[in-house]
Amino acid sequence: MSEKIQKPDATWRDELTPEQYKICRQSGTELAFTGIYWDCHDNGLYRCVCCGNKLFDSNVKYESGSGWPSFWQTHQLDSVIVKKDDSHGITRTEVLCSRCDAHLGHVFEDGPKPTGLRYCINSAALTLDRE
């Protein structure tokens, strides 16, 4: 992982679209089946929209039926960090970019083998470098 990126809130607000800012910096979410990558089948590398960190490879993306892009593995073990999220009256595991702490989505333990994980990620938190 590269050096940690920290910026003032005003800088993030200037660099991101309102939707990206709401999701990545304020832990928001997009509506299911609305993001640009939920039904994308292009090959490439998904990166953090805030800092360009390599997050997920397209070959580990799968159709979960959730309405968000879903992956069963991260690009590298240190691509993301996870933390307990007790918001909205339920306990979940939040997924953050390990480089800039952008909120990406959540990870669940109902994914396919071999990991059994489902990284449920907001499209607005991602960019895709197509192959």
Query: How far, in whole angstroms, is CA 4 from its chain's centroid?
Result: 17
Residue 120 a catalytic site member: yes
Q: How far is CA 105 from CA 46, 101, 121, 122, in A?
A: 14, 12, 4, 6
Of 24, 51, 100, 120, which is the active-site residue?
120
The rounded distance, in Å, linking the Cα atoms of 97 and 91 is 20
Instruction: State the catalytic residues.
Output: 120
